[in-house]
Structures are given as structure tokens and as C-alpha cells.
Amino acid sequence: MTDTPVTTASAAGSGANLTRLFERVALILVWLLLIGGFGAAMPTSFLNWGNFAILFASYAPAALLALAIIVPLTAGDYDLSVGATLTLSSCVIGVLNVWQGLPIGLAIALALCAGAAVGLVNAFFIIYVRIPSLVVTLGTTSLITGLVQWMTNSSTIGGIDNSLVMAVVGGRFLGVPYAFYYAIAAAILMSYVFDFTPLGRRLLFVGRGREVARLNGIAVDRVRLGALVTSGVLAAAAGVLYAGVLGSADPYSGLNFLLPAFAAAFLGATTILPGRFNPWGAIVAVYFLATGITGLTMLGIPLWVTNVFNGGALILAVTISQLTRGREASDIG
Amino acid sequence: MTTHETPAAQPAPPVLRLDGIAKTFGGARALKGVSFEVAPGEVHGLLGKNGSGKSTLVKILAGFHAPDPGGVMEFNGEPVSLPLRPGDFRRLGMSFVHQNLGLIPSLTVLENLRLSDLTAIGRGVINWSAEWRAARDALARFDVPLDPEERIDRLSAVDRALLAIVRAFEEVRVAREATGRPGLVLLDEPTPFLPREGVEKLFTLVRSIAAHGSSVVFISHDIDEVMTITDRATVLRDGDVAGSLVTREATHEQMVEMIVGRKLARAAPVRAVHAAHARPRVRLDGVASRTLRPTSLTVGEGEIVGLTGLIGSGYEELPYLAFGARRVTGGTLALDDGPATALADLTPRRAIDLDLALLPGDRQGASGVDSLPIVDNMFLPDLGRFFTGGLLRNGRMKREARQLGEAFEVRPNDPLLKLSALSGGNAQKVLIARWMNRRPRLLLLDEPTQGVDVGTRQHIFAALRQAAAGGMSVICASSDAEQLADICDRVLIFARGAVCEELVGEQISKESIAEACYASLDRAAASSPVNGTPS
């Protein structure tokens, strides 16, 4: 008699487990379907490793940006300024290395510092002045964009030290330029912090229940500040990659990464570890979106479709996570 | 004092008549068939302890709960079909002022006052100058001199309460103009957080509402206030009407007896000589906040001390203040032979390091995160312990969580489930296990069994007693007299921000606690209350 509920529970459990497993890999399956679709349409030009190698490398800055975003998102804060920070970082490198003649290593270090500074400014207004993060980072986005235009005279700065270019796209492993592996390294580091350190667990509690975190002895403000500074530094690192991929500093194109990166962050939260912003989900999502855009472009579909695709993916991603997660709270309320 | 608009020859029907209103939750009968009447122009008190059925009755009238079939409700002599739907009360000419007042802090007096009108569907363009005049007139009618342009968050607590009541009455007045019948305003515990002179203003307002011919139901635990303002009073006890009184003819003692359900032993208050408990474990000295007057308290090793009182008496703050979780205005904490720590410098982190533990009353908002797994909720303050060799040992956490879940009988005991997958009682077991597993020197509890089923309650009590026997000290703030009587060695009764009575050992019973809560009120009033001068 006591057995009956146990068996039904475990039967229901295995059913739930299958659903859960499917949920975890659904995006990867859709990605494979997408590749299959484009591959069927363009067997030679799309389905070759060279195409994918370029795709993996050129979207590495976007991948790093998506990773940057999920840190404060997990702690419950939006950081919209990552796109502008990416631009700032690559232009700091351009100005200091090309115009001022600073060694590339020093220029990179200062670019990362600039990213940290953006994080600190955001954190000051979000945490201590208590302004909603969406508003603050929208403001700093415009502020930084203006600063970058002033700094660069609104012109693209070419001729960045070749050693950076070589380090980012010069070498290849399995045919894929190094740029991709930097993003992967960041994802490995981040999933270590998220899953295998107390800090990651605290970050999660700060995002889901500030008062719970506080009453359990977590220094909530410090965690949020750390998350915002981390996203600034990671966005600056994405800028370093971007400068390396282009070999120049472009004061305008960086903001184009913002939307796909956000879309990837939310889409990534529906996969691998559904319901949580997670690094591997974000990486998968970035390359899912990249595959879609590349395939559509190769099919000769006009440029505006890219924007529709990115925007649509963002809304769809949030919708999916709302629908599948109707039973649970999502990260951002 | 009562003003009837209707001619005396033909007595008007009661504004509200209830007969045999019952409500069963699960198997528990919250209301067993309540009948009472409110006459036109009358201020009618509704009294009763926590759990006597007051709030259930209010929620039935507001349309939140459907009563059991068979009850009768009449409004101005006309039968009303039950259950009411939410919002029906407005059409009838009833209006509620709840304790939270329902004002929007960032909007102006005018916008709040005319809220339901301004946002009504199908309404045309807003004529702001006409709205302004209407608001000014409404405020002037009741002699409440507020600037219609002032924002709510700049008003004092008293002015907010007055505004909420004026708004409620305005709603009733509009309904009355449509039907020509008297209306009814229900005030649900409007006074606990008001200073004394504010209560006077509020009473003046209530009287002028009654003078306009509408009736007021005044729900309160404060017998003095009920004696002052009401014409008649109905007392609920354990879901039944314990009796109705004409206030003028009743005495304070009669009311208390009716509420508590037996004769009061009005002997000199037993100021207990506290039996020297093993040895003092916790010394709280001069703990004070905005609502709590300087309070000192010593808890012995293995002692369970209960804190209780009526709403707003300040007892519920103490666990948070002692944990460094809320702002204090003074006070120190000392544990065993350690030095005294100023509570102003105490943070939850430091409190945890001192082996304190706090289980807040707001389980979902302050205690655990529903959307995260049981294991993470269980070991949130212990993460450092599982971080060895540069890795958080998720496997070991899961194993220990399963063992701990077993010990506390968490059902289902799967540490990877989200906390939301558990019933309220089981979730509470997880959270209490989190703290008890740390073997704290002092466990601070706020309403530990709220929303927890009876079985779980017993289980939590047993765990508390066992841990106390092992030397853990407990401070438990609760409004549930029965629970305190079950677990406490000593109960402190608070009134108006201070301890006013102490019950020890044999003196503690469900009845004696409830009694002391009410009896304490006038004793506290006799000394200097925190809120101002007594009336």
C-alpha cells in the first residue's frame, strides 16, 4: 500500500526527467535543425568548415558580451552599457596604441580599467543612489558613446599593433581562429564560478531574494557591485577581442552587439540549465543567432532581416522562458 | 450620540444584518454562524482575539471569501445574495479602510481621493479644476485640512489615515446619493500605529460620518478605543458571537471577559521572580527602535522565551533588532561571557558569526527563495564549509541535505527540488533545519508556524524543545497564544512598545496569555506610553 504512491511518484519523476532533459537540449536541437536547413539550401557554400570557423571567430566578441551581461542579470541588475563599454575599450586601445604610441599591452590594461570604471560608476548610481539599473545603464550608454566620439573625433582608427591581431585571429586551432577560444575560456571560468564556488551561489541568491540573502549574512551591496564591475571588465575584454578581429577601432559598430548579446543571454537561460542565466547556454544561444544571421545573409536576404531576426529572437526567448517557467519565478522579475 | 435621519415612528431597518454566516476552511470552522446588526447612524465595534473570526468576516463582506451556504445577509432591509463578488460591496454602499489604507504614496491627495472615479472605465476627459473643487469640498466637509496637491508620502501617518477614511466615506456617499439609503464604512484596525492625538482626530472624523447618517463598523483590539467611540459592540470568540453590548452600559472588565471567554483574575499582576535558569546565555540591554522603547531581557541557556502582545505593541521587532537586521536606536547584545556588542554595529553576517540565527516570519520574502533548490536554501549560510580544494562540493551538499531533510522529516526529501515544490510546512522545516543544523547559541523566531499545518507544528515544536534541552536558547515572537503556551518557559507581554508583564512556568496558558495581552493595555497606558500622553 505504501508502495503505490512511491511508484507513481517515480514514474512521474522519470517522465518529468525526460521533459527536463529535452528542455535542456532543445535549443541545441533547434540549432542543428537550422544548420540542416541552411545546409540543404546551400550544401557547398554554407556547409563547410571554413564558413563556421569565421562565424565562430567573428562572433566571439558577442559571445563575451553575452557572458558579461549574465553576471549582473544573475544578481538582479540589468547592464545595458556593455555595448558602449565594448566600443569604449576598443577605442581606448586605438587612441592609446595608434595615436599616443603606448605599447599594446599597456593599452589593453588601460582599456580593461576603463571597463572596470564604467562598472563602478554604474554600481554607484544603482546601489548607493538606488536608481533602477535599466535607467542608469541606459544613461551611461549614451554618455560613453559621446565620450568615444569625442575621443576618436568620430573616426575609425586603423593600424592597431599587429601582435593583438595575431593573438586574436592570427593563429588557428582546429581551423578556428583563437578569438573563439578566448570566449570559451571565459565561459569555462564563469561556469566554474557560477557552479563551483560559494560566490556563484551567493550571486544567485542576491538576484532571487535580496532580503533572504541579506538575512543570511551575504553582503548584498558588495556582491552587486562586484557583478557590475565584472560585466564592465568582461565587456572591455570583448572590446579588446573586437579590436583584434577588426585590426582597428570603430567608434560606431560596437552598439550593434548589444541586442544579439541580450537576446543570447535570455535565450541561453532557456537551455543547458533552464531557468538560470548560464554561461554555456549563452554561448550556444550566441552561435545559434549567429548561424541564423549568417545563413540568411548568404541566402541574399536584405540587411533589415538581421534586425528583425535579433529582435524577434529576444522577444521569443523571453516568451519561451516565461511559458516554460510559468510555474517558477524567473531571474528578473 | 446616535443620529437617525429616519423618522422615529417607523424604525429604519438595520443597515447591515447578518444571520448565520459560517465559513469552513478545509475542516476548520473559522466562523460558526455569526449574526449581528448595525443600525443606521451607529458606530458599531467588532472585537475579538486573533483567530476569533474577525478578519474572515471582513473578507466575506469584501467578497474575498465565499461563506458556507445557508447564511443570510440584508443591506438596508433588502436581502443580498451570497457569496458577494469582489467589488459588490461598493455597489451596495459599503466601503473598507484596511490597515494598510490602500493609498498610493507617489500620487497626490487629490488623485488618491478621486482614484476610483478618475480611473473609471468609460469616463471622459478629466476636468481637473472640478476634481480639485470636489476634493477640497470633501476634505472641508469633514474638517480635514489637507492640501489636495500634496503627495501622500509627505503626509503624516494620521493624515493618511484620515484621508483613507474620508475617501471611504466619499465612496459611500456617492452610493447613497444613488440609492437614498444609508451606507456603511468598515474600519479594520485603523489605529495601532497612530499616535494618541491622531486617534482623537480619527474619532472626531468617525463621529461626523455617523452624524451624516451612515454607519461605521470599527474593528479593533483596543477596548479603550472601542469604549470611547462606539455605540454598541459585538464580540467574536472562536468563530461565534460571544455577545453584544451597549457600550455606554458596559464595563471594561465585561468586554475583556467576553473576549477572553472567562472571568479575569484581576489579582495584582504576577511580576514573576524568574527562577534562576541554568545560566544566562543572552543579555539584551536597552534594545530600542522607533516602535520599541528600551527593553532589556536575559535568556538562560536552554530557555525558550516567548514575546507577544497586540498588533503594534512592538514585540515582533525584537528578533530582527537582536540580529542586526533592522535599525536600532540603541541597545547592546552580550552572549555568555563575551563582551557586549552595540546592536547599531551588528549586521546579520556578524550575528551569524556570533552563533545567532534568525528565522523571519515572511517565509517567501525574507527566509527562503522559492525558485532555488532545497539544498541551496538549506546551506546558504554554510557555503564556505563545502568549499574545499577550490571546488564547492555539490555532491556532499546534496548528501548532507538529504540527511538533514530526513532528520527534519521533509517530504518529499529530494534536495534538488525547488523550495516551491514543498508545502508551506515542509518548506518551513527546511528553513528551520538550516539554522538548527548550525547549533546556534540563540535562535530568534518570528511567527515560526504561520501557515504551517498542525502536524508540522508539532514536529517543529519537538525539534525546538530537543535543541533547547541541548542548550540552545530561543526567543520566539508570535501572535499565537496557543503556540507560545505550548513551547515557552517564559512569555513576555508587550504593550505600547514595552514589556508590561511576564508569565512564567505554570502561569503560562493560552488563556492567561490572551488575558494578559488585553489586561496589559490599560496598565501600559497608565505608565507613559511611547506614542504620547494617554487620554
Quick check: A201 contacting B, CB < 8 Å? yes
Name the residue type at position B250.
Answer: A
Using CB atoms, pick whichever of A195, A208, A219 lies closest to residue B372.
A208
Closest among A253, A250, A248, A243 to A155, alpha carbons compared = A250
Average pLDDT over residues B502-508: 85
| ipTM > 0.90 for the complex | no
Give the residue among B171, B164, B214 at the shortest CA–CA distance from B190.
Answer: B164
B282: distance to nearest CA of chain A, Å? 20
What mean pLDDT comes out for the span B500-514?
84
A248/A269 Cα distance (integer angstroms):
33
Report the pLDDT value the prediction gives residue B273, as an integer from 0 to 100.
Answer: 38
Bigger pLDDT: B97 or B51?
Answer: B97
Q: Which amino acid is at A241?
A: L
**CB-based contact, A197 to chain B, within 8 Å:** yes
Q: Does the beta-carbon distance from A211 to B420 stay under 8 Å? A: no
pLDDT in tens, A209-226: 999 999 999 999 999 999
Exposed, middle or buried, B455 (CB in 10 Å: 0-12/13-18/19+)? exposed
Best mean pLDDT range from A66-80, A283-297, B326-340: A66-80
- B203-241: buried (b, 16+ CB within 10 Å) or exposed (e) per residue? bebbeebbebbbbbbbbbbbbbbbbbbbbbbbbbbebbb
A331 pLDDT higher than 60: no
pLDDT of residue A170: 85
Which one of B356, B362, B369 makes the best mutation probe of the A interface by having the most chain A beta carbons within 10 Å?
A: B369
In chain A, which residues have their Cβ closer than 8 Å to the Cβ of B372? 204-205, 208
pLDDT at A111 over 50: yes
Min Cα–Cα distance to chain B from A237, Å: 25
Mention every residue, 6+ apart, whose C-beta is less than 8 A from residue B85. Answer: B63
How many angstroms separate the CA of residue B475 from the nearest CA in chain A? 17
Nearest to B67 by CA among B84, B52, B43, B49: B84
Give dist(CA B355, CA A214) in Å, integer: 16
Buried b (16+ CB within 10 A) or exposed e, B383-422: beebbeeeebeeeebbebbbebbeebebeebbbebbbbbb
Selecting from B348, B360, B384 the residue whose C-beta is nearest the C-beta of A198 gives: B384
Using a pLDDT cut of 90, give the percent of chain B over it: 23
Bridge partners (DSSP) of residue B503 are B491
pLDDT at B478 over 80: yes
Q: Which of B194-208, B219-233, B414-428 shows the lowest mean pLDDT across its residues?
A: B194-208
What domains can you pick out in chain B, each with its CATH number?
16-103+181-260 (3.40.50.300), 266-355+440-535 (3.40.50.300), 369-438 (no CATH)
- The per-residue pLDDT for B208 is 81
Answer whether A70's CB lies under 8 Å from A278's CB: yes
Q: Which residue has the cell 571597463?
A: A115
Higher pLDDT, A331 or A66: A66
Largest CA distance in chain A: 82
Grid coordinates in use for B92?
Answer: 451596495
**Residues B32-37: contacts with CB within 8 Å, 24+ apart?**
B32/B238, B32/B239, B32/B240, B33/B71, B33/B240, B34/B236, B34/B239, B34/B240, B34/B241, B35/B241, B36/B234, B36/B241, B36/B244
The full set of domains in chain A, from first to last, is 27-324 (1.10.3470)
**What confidence score (pLDDT) does residue B264 get?**
53
Task: Quote the pLDDT of residue B490.
Answer: 92
A198 min Cα distance to partner chain B (Å): 5
A59, three cell numbers: 562572433
